[in-house]
Amino acid sequence: MLDDFFVRAILAGVGLALTTGPLGCFIIWRRMAYFGDTIAHSALLGVALSLLFELNLTIAVFAVAALVSVLLLFLQKRQALSADALLGILSHATLAIGLVMVAFMSWVRIDLIAFLFGDILAVSSTDIALIWGGGLFVLAAMAWLWRPLLASTVNAELAEAEGLRPERARLFFMLLMAVVIAIAMKIVGIMLITSLLIIPAAAARRFSATPEIMAVLASVIGAAAVVGGLFGSLTYDTPSGPSIVVAALILFILSLLPLRRHRAVMQGQGS
Amino acid sequence: MFSPANTKGEPLVSLENVGVLRSGRWLVRGVEFSVSRGEIVTLIGPNGSGKSTSAKAAIGVLKPNEGRVERLAGLKVGYVPQKLAIDWTLPLSVRRLMTLTGPLPERDMRAALEAAGIDHMLDAEVQHLSGGEFQRALMARAIARKPDLLVLDEPVQGVDFSGEIALYDLIKSIRNASGCGILLISHDLHVVMAETDTVICLNGHVCCRGTPEAVSRSPEYVRLFGSRAAQTLAVYSHHHDHTHLPDGRVQHADGTVTDHCHPDDGHHAHGHEHAHAGHEHAHEGHTHAHDHDDHHGHEHSHAHSHSGEGRHA
């Protein structure tokens, strides 16, 4: 019963989930969930631009996401508005401009729903190659950035005083986010990308003793959510993107359930 | 005879007429000081007087808008920041905290944790530590990397009085053990370490400087903090259990001479607690409170009896 498209979907989804695990951990450690949302929303502007100028979709989305990231870094330094307000403005402005542009282009007919919520069942072999290639690149870059990123998550000034370069690490991290969002858009869509970043990482927290374990566990949980969600969508004939997110949510809720053994360990530590 | 003034080589870091401007306002201006190897410099001043700003300018975290900051090439800094909030979602044990900014041999990690008195908490999550334990862990992390310059921004915050004394003791022994320079920021005007070689009193600019006794008597200090504060300024001092010889070797209270004075070499043991059980608060006019040469060898009831361990490299 495993059709070709279903195998492709699983390969693509698992590849993406493995990549989003470590990034998602930093998103929650650094409290950047809204940032992830903003970059994801800006992807729609990338879609519109790629249609308008007949550019490669992934590259256009990456370019816009990267531009918005850098713009955010720049505006935050000016400290004219709070980071929160800036994110809100950029998030909805880019989304709205994208929608307006698409509406103006009466000659193209696009499936907006596919961009907003993804269509993992439609991925091609080329897409899979892109996901795994891009994913491996992102994971390698994360390994290289790990120490400065983690140190500056604890305290940026400490990291800088002790010879690491937190600003550079942060810029690279944002660019990696843009890469992942460009890759992920086709699979889970603009609206659901952040959930694939955040929910597996949050579910991994309780079972992790170190940041590194949490990153790996987040990848594993994300992959499990992809597989579970896809089988669920096949069984119940539900949309695949949202089904993956629901599966991740179920795993997160399971992670919150009190486990007797775990609690005993916690108490042992506390005393 | 050890006196920081004599051993001053090239300063590790020196600030010349440094000013930091933010949003059209000078946070500090005209700051001048330097820290040399083996020297403890303490910055004190009211809230918002630019203590942290000056320290951050010294280690290069803040770029000064005027003036010059010179650091020794390849200077290794250990930094304990004033505020450090670790998000609950980040699983971080003390062990992992220790290697945050660079790898560390297991031996150095344990030695530093032991010196800070929290070696039993190696595997505890940092979010579960008390305020004092967390400060100790941060201090252990900073000293484990064997820095040339240790910068401690209000290291005794959230620590009760006895813990405070213990931390100041730790700071002193770090300096004596490693010979690093220490830049200390104190929110606590009442207790300034007598070990401090120079106190710099800041209030947007350097308002006075000198030895702890001199500063506590200076009219600028009294004006800034009031005469009551000046009266209650307690200079925490206690006796030394070893002396640094001019050639760099160390003479211990028990008369032995070693090349270094590592905290774990047995000469220091854990005798600090009783060595200063009755630490003295220097009175005004007590001119010897800061004299390093007064107490060695003869005031120590706990002098160790080392047999046949004259020198070890």
Asked whether the predicted pLDDT for residue A67 surpasses 90, the reply is: yes
Cross-strand pairs, A33: none
Encoded tokens for A50: 């790629």
Give B-chain residues touching A161 at CB under 8 angstroms. Answer: 56, 59-61, 77, 79, 151
Return the SS3 of A41. helix
Is B74 part of the contact surface with chain A (CB cutoff 8 Å)? no
* Average pLDDT value for residue range A37-47: 89
Averaged pLDDT score across all residues of chain A? 88
Query: Over the stretch A188-203, which tens digit does the pLDDT of each residue have?
Result: 888 788 899 999 999 9
Cα separation, A131 vs A15, in Å, equals 6
Cross-strand pairs, B281: B236
Q: Measure in Å the smallest separation between the Cα of B55 and chain A Cα atoms.
A: 10
Q: Measure in Å the smallest separation between the Cα of B142 and chain A Cα atoms.
A: 9
Specify if A195 maps to a domain.
no
Query: Over the stretch B76-114, which tens digit does the pLDDT of each residue have?
Result: 999 999 888 888 899 999 999 999 998 999 999 999 998
* Average pLDDT value for residue range B43-60: 88
Give A-chain residues touching B81 at CB under 8 angstroms. Answer: 155, 157-158
Q: Measure in Å the smallest separation between the Cα of A48 and chain B Cα atoms.
A: 36
Is B50 part of the contact surface with chain A (CB cutoff 8 Å)? no
Q: Which of B63, B97, B100 to mutate to test the interface with A (most CBs of A within 10 A)?
A: B100
Cα separation, A33 vs B220, in Å, equals 49
Specify if A239 maps to a domain.
no
Whether residues B90 and A270 touch (CB distance < 8 A) is answered with no
- Say if pTM beats, i.e. exceeds, 0.80: no
Question: In the block, which residue shows the tokens 């946070």?
Answer: B27
Lowest mean pLDDT among A21-25, A26-30, A101-105, B184-188: B184-188
A35 exposure class (CB count in 10 Å sphere: 0-12, 13-18, 19+) = buried
* Average pLDDT value for residue range A215-239: 95
Encoded tokens for B21: 């401007």
Of A175, A46, A59, residue with least CA distance to A99 = A46
* Average pLDDT value for residue range A102-113: 81
Of B77, B10, B71, residue with least CA distance to B37 = B10
Greater model confidence, A190 or A135: A135
Give A-chain residues touching B63 at CB under 8 angstroms. Answer: none
Residue numbers of A between 16 and 35 with CB closer than 8 Å to B: 28-31
Of B139, B189, B43, B268, residue with least CA distance to A158 = B139
Asked whether the predicted pLDDT for residue B295 surpasses 70, the reply is: no
Specify if A118 maps to a domain.
yes
Domain over B9-76+147-239 is classified CATH 3.40.50.300: yes
Give B-chain residues touching A153 at CB under 8 angstroms. Answer: 87, 90
Question: In the block, which residue shows the tokens 């402005």?
Answer: A93
Whether residues A154 and B100 touch (CB distance < 8 A) is answered with yes
Number of domains in chain A: 1
B192 exposure class (CB count in 10 Å sphere: 0-12, 13-18, 19+) = buried
Per-residue DSSP letter, A123: -
Per-residue DSSP letter, A207: T
Encoded tokens for B139: 């201090």
Per-residue DSSP letter, A163: T
Q: Which domain holds residue A120?
A: 4-190
Whether residues A161 and B77 touch (CB distance < 8 A) is answered with yes
Q: Measure in Å the smallest separation between the Cα of B139 and chain A Cα atoms.
A: 12
Note the pLDDT of residue B264: 45
Give A-chain residues touching B124 at CB under 8 angstroms. Answer: 269
List the CATH number of the domain containing A167: 1.10.3470.10
Give B-chain residues touching A28 at CB under 8 angstroms. Answer: 87, 89
Cα separation, A193 vs B60, in Å, equals 38
Residue B253 binned pLDDT confidence (cut-offs 50, 70, 90): low
B249 exposure class (CB count in 10 Å sphere: 0-12, 13-18, 19+) = middle
Q: With residue A266 as reference, give the H or E element that holds it.
A: helix A260-270
Q: Measure in Å the smallest separation between the Cα of B45 and chain A Cα atoms.
A: 22
Beta strands at B40-44 and B66-71: parallel, antiparallel or unpaired: unpaired
Nearest chain B residue to A198, by CA: B89
Whether residues B23 and A214 touch (CB distance < 8 A) is answered with no
Query: Over the stretch B257-285, which tens digit does the pLDDT of each residue have?
Result: 555 544 444 444 433 333 333 333 333 33
Residue B10 CB coordination number (10 Å): 10
Give A-chain residues touching B52 at CB under 8 angstroms. Answer: none
Greater model confidence, B131 or A225: A225
Cα separation, B261 vs B240, in Å, equals 12
Is B131 part of the contact surface with chain A (CB cutoff 8 Å)? no
Lowest mean pLDDT among A127-136, B32-41, B148-157, B233-242: B233-242
Secondary structure (DSSP) of A49-87: HHHHHT--HHHHHHHHHHHHHHHHHHHHHHTSS-HHHHH
Cα separation, B192 vs B290, in Å, equals 12
Q: How far apart are the first and last CA of chain B?
A: 21
ipTM value, please give it: 0.81
What are the sequence ranges of the domains in chain B? 9-76+147-239, 86-146
Q: Measure in Å the smallest separation between the Cα of A160 and chain B Cα atoms.
A: 6
Is B87 part of the contact surface with chain A (CB cutoff 8 Å)? yes
Specify if A270 maps to a domain.
no
